[in-house]
Amino acid sequence: MESHVDISKVLDVWKKLCNSWDWLSNANVCTKGTRIILGWNIEIVDVMLLAQTDQVFNTWTQKPKKGVGLLKKIDRVSDHSPCVLQLLSISPDQPKPFKFANFLADKEGFRDLVANAWQDDIGGHNMFKVVKKLRSLKRPLRKILFQQGNLHARVDQCRADLDEIQAEIDKDPTNSGLREKETIVLKKFNDASYDEECFLKQKSKVEWLKCGDSNSKFFHNSVKSKNHRSRIEVIKDVNGVIHEGKAAALALVAHYENFLGSRGDMSPFMHDGLFSRIIDTQQANDMIRTVSQEEIKKAMFSIGDNKAPGPDGFSSAFFKKTWDCR
């Protein structure tokens, strides 16, 4: 749409529209305001910018000169109205399950939040208590993640602020106030960049590359590649019928409901002599002995921080960071 938004306010507009999307605009080539703003859901499509101009053509003219000109106001259906492209073969977004973002473990107040939750008096079996306490943490942890805002947009804003203050320093190199301001802005930029890298690394499941070396672009591309590989858009059932979009998911559910929901053979099974080799009594007792705290900790700390979390959404990094909370 022909928004006429000032270039300095385009980023704020993006944040208010949809934080999780990627955005482009032709603000850099417009002489007055921003004419075109384009946004897309990175979980569904990839967009590549091939070319951009200030405006493709003049939308209308009220006074044709010498009989030559556009006689219709086509801007009412072109650049003055927002347009939404919906891919019908793509199923609508479903509520996303909780997944703990590891970089939150280093944020102020995180450990206090977990420690307070662990002090709640909950009755029942020990495992039941753990499940209830973890469930109570999901809402406040979602809130902390929301407070971080769009990590990618925050990096862009911090980079713009840093460029601005450094441009001022170039004009006045001896200004100590500008130098102090640059230090503060630079720290914000480094912190935002590190958070973004950690978040993308966790999503990409890339273990061999460390954060802190400006690897955000690589992690981001790995995430997009992983999402494309794991998404099923079209499927053919056992009868040869093709299902697309949301129907593909329903076809999978129907197949396994029919396959796993059928009643199996319940006749008695004769197992005498089935196992010719068995373990001795000492080995059998060792397999059912009580597991020590040291063994549990060793097993947990051997799991990579960015490995896929369990059904509850909590990663191994969460338990490592809060292991001593009682």
Residues 245 and 221 in one domain: no
In a domain, 50, yes or no: yes
Higher pLDDT, 171 or 216: 171
Please indicate, yes or no, whether residues 67 and 110 belong to a single structural domain of this protein.
no
Which of helix, strand or coil describes residue 25? strand
DSSP 138-193: HHHHHHHHHHT--HHHHHHHHHHHHHHHHHHHHH-TT-HHHHHHHHHHHHHHHHHH
In tens, the pLDDT along 253-298 reads: 888 888 787 677 777 777 777 778 888 899 989 889 988 999 999 9
Whether the pTM exceeds 0.75: the reply is no
Same domain as 224, residue 146: yes
Number of domains the chain contains: 3
Which segment, 41-45, 77-81, 129-133, 203-207, is predicted with the most confidence on average? Answer: 129-133
Residues 6 or more apart whose CB falls under 8 angstroms from that of 64 comprise 70, 71
- Same domain? 245 vs 220: no
The answer to whether position 311 is within a domain reads yes
Q: Exposed, middle or buried: residue 244 (CB in 10 Å: 0-12, 13-18, 19+)?
A: middle
Are 219 and 240 found together in one domain? Answer: no
Q: Is residue 53 part of a domain?
A: yes
Q: Are 226 and 205 in contact (CB under 8 A)?
A: yes
274 within some domain: no
List pLDDT tens digits, range 194-207: 888 888 888 776 55
Asked whether residue 212 falls in the same domain as residue 303, the answer is yes
32 and 146 co-located in one domain? no
Q: How far apart are CA 186 and CA 165, in angstroms?
A: 10
Residue 208 has pLDDT above 50, yes or no: no
Whether residue 24 lies inside any domain: the answer is yes
Establish if 188 belongs to a structural domain: yes
Does one domain contain both 208 and 237? no
Q: Find the domain containing 120 and state its range.
A: 102-231+286-321
Residue 36 lies in a domain: yes
Tens digits of per-residue pLDDT, 154-183?
888 998 999 999 999 999 988 999 999 999
Amino acid at 75: D
